[in-house]
Structure 1
């Protein structure tokens, strides 16, 4: 009896993983800072430094991910990431001295490295070739849903049971839901079912494979360096603005309005990523999609800079900026698929993520410092310049 194509089942599993990975490793850190600063009176600067450490640990490890997948298997590496995330959550929840925040950040940084973008790309790449844009868009939408679902869940759990119990509940949910998926769905390949990429009856014709280059050789490749610099600059600008966006919106929209505007950013990120996944062209034209993404974000940043007290312009800025948020996650692996040999794509994507995270880990502090020294308008001006620079650089092959 022929088994139905299992690739979309893998996409569903990757979507669920993304909900938890981003809810803990990307959206969670802001909650950890706010909760510990309010409940224990710890300095925000110290907690922010711990979150920067969280992203730097992840950046240092994620470049090794393809090697670990090859040696240990995707299931084992993913489960190691789940254990690290769970242990990190418990350390965040029950640490009683500020120094332990860095231990917690180290653990959640390991978990984030092993379960986020590069890991999801590695899980789905064997299943999809021509349909990879659509598959990755659907899986990465779990990141946006993680922000929509996990942030209010965190708030509800902390308000009802306290921060320590909340971290224990989320850690238990993570292990209960994703642990079986890691071995039962996410680690399976098409060969396990006698299937091929995209559900084709036979494997697609490919050119003679070239040996995969190592990381040092890739770092000397102008094609790789140009791509990594463009997205590192764009993500630096995005992360800096995202982390300060609520404070920019509060004077005009109030607490409730700012919260709704941030939800709008997340919803438009989901819409933008989904639309791009369905219409993304093949080959070099994918760089034009990336350029358009940076320009749309630039238009959103310009609307925010010019808005003043205008609620309409602020919401328009959030919508335009949000349209690009999801694409900056999904486009790098899709451009890598189009421009690098298949044997190198996993390593290229992991190395891109490592470089991007090392840059954007510094963005919140840099943006905040610039706001204090030169003012909010000047900080938004720098964001516009960075987005324009990224849009131009991504077109250079």
Structure 2
């Protein structure tokens, strides 16, 4: 199958091929994220015990993965824009098992750390960045829904892959589990890509599916077709406004998620009850991703951003004043919508501000900022607790970060028209 593939004959009733491509992107992203970020915690205890590592040193693996992904992200995003996404995903799927096999056979932590590099590349090239790039190529009118669906892959990977990997570790040991996970995920990614993924639609295919949004040459929507280089992205002040705004709220998300269980432990709540609360939050987040993805096509994205950011602040206030386990538990069923909904909103912010033509390049650049802020906040929230004995100050800082995020996004969206190419701005 070529990068464009063959559409159904003109006039023949068929389902738009973009949905098939989106299915392939969803499944490959699920496998990629599930084999890396969502399964990492399962290996910490057995690896630290066998190699006599401290928990901090064992946790260094996820930090190395995050840093490597951040550094490779701009280049992978650029490749997804300029090259065949299908061929890049196949190459990454073939490369993925290499890192896992090295880790499964190695007894040297430095070699394991080095083996994370091909895994990071494969994760970027087959995970969320690839699925979002395909979504922007195949969808315009229903892009919000497409972003919502692809965003669910991360949640689904934790739900489906974590139990399987945990079972492999329990029955066969962590080394066998690593090898099986890497080889299995890599093979499935290649097969799914070959069968389902097509890099771009044929000429006229989006029009026939009523997927194109009409754009006047002098409209601010014409930014959809502007091309960006990495240098141009990093030189654009508006990029830094949007990137810092979205990075603040996403980093706050991650800091909250890793702190829920220890925060509840400080309140005398057991691990099982804390896990139940996290499950409710995660389930609500899935509904938020799908629901907000749909509403983005009908409502002002700034209003939706304020809504989900406001839900973040409500959750932080609940933790700060803590009215009791069951009150917080019930509130999470609604507040989780904000946790999930922020993901497709962030993706749409970049697509609507910088266009879909160079979406991979822009998101790769944004990933650097997001990862830096995440590392700072993940480290910072633990430091605050260690120094003060409480998470209260950390929650207050996160509230300030979310408020600043709202201000930056409102400034950024009001400045969007200035990104028009010079020929269109005349």
Superposed pair shares fold, TM > 0.5: yes
Select 1:351's aligned residue among 357, 365, 370: 365
Alignment of 1:227-376 (within 5 A): 227-250=242-265, 252-281=268-297, 285-307=300-322, 310-316=324-330, 318-319=332-333, 322-374=336-388, 375-376=390-391
Contact 1:89 1:108 in 2 (8 A): yes
- Count of residue correspondences: 393
| 1:205 equivalent among 190, 206, 214 | 214
Give the structure 1 partner of residue 418 of structure 2: none
Q: Is the 8 A contact 1:147 1:266 kept in 2?
A: no
The counterpart of 2:239, out of the listed 224, 241, 246, is 224
Q: Is the CA contact 2:285–2:338 (under 8 Å) kept in the aligned structure 1?
A: yes
Which deviates more from structure 2 when the two are superposed, residues 65-74 or residues 49-58? 65-74
- 5+ residue gaps, structure 1, are none
Instruction: State the alpha-carbon separation in 2 of the partners of residues 104 and 349 from structure 1.
Output: 25
Compared with structure 1, are the counterparts of its residues 110 and 363 closer, same or farther at alpha carbon in structure 2 (3 Å cutoff)? farther
Alpha carbons of structure 1 residues 246 and 86: separation in structure 2 relative to 1, 3 Å: farther
TM-score by length of 2: 0.84
**Does the C-alpha gap of structure 1 residues 354 and 170 become closer, same or farther in structure 2, counting only changes over 3 Å?**
same
User: Which structure has the larger Rg?
Assistant: 2
TM-score w.r.t. the length of structure 1 is 0.90
Gap change, CA 1:282 and 1:338, over 3 Å in 2:
farther
Question: Which residue of the partner structure matches residue 160 of structure 2?
Answer: 149
Looking at structure 2, the residues matched to 267 and 198 of structure 1 have their Cα atoms a distance apart, in angstroms, of 36
> Per the alignment, in what secondary structure is the counterpart of residue 190 of structure 1?
coil
Task: State how 1:125-164 maps to structure 2 within 5 Å.
Answer: 125-164=136-175
User: 1:181: which partner in 2?
Assistant: 192
Runs in 1 of length 4+ with deviation above 6 angstroms? none
Q: What 5-or-longer segments of structure 2 have no aligned partner?
A: 1-8, 413-426
The verdict on how the C-alpha distance between 1:213 and 1:324 changes in structure 2, with shifts beyond 3 A counting, is same
Give, in whole Å, the separation in 1 of the partners of 2:311 and 2:101: 39
Deviations 1:97-147 (A, max 9, x none): 222332233232222222232211111212110101001211221111111
CA distance in 2, matches of 1:82, 1:322: 33
User: Is residue 392 of structure 1 aligned with residue 381 of structure 2?
Assistant: no
Compute the displacement of 1:356 (Å).
0.9
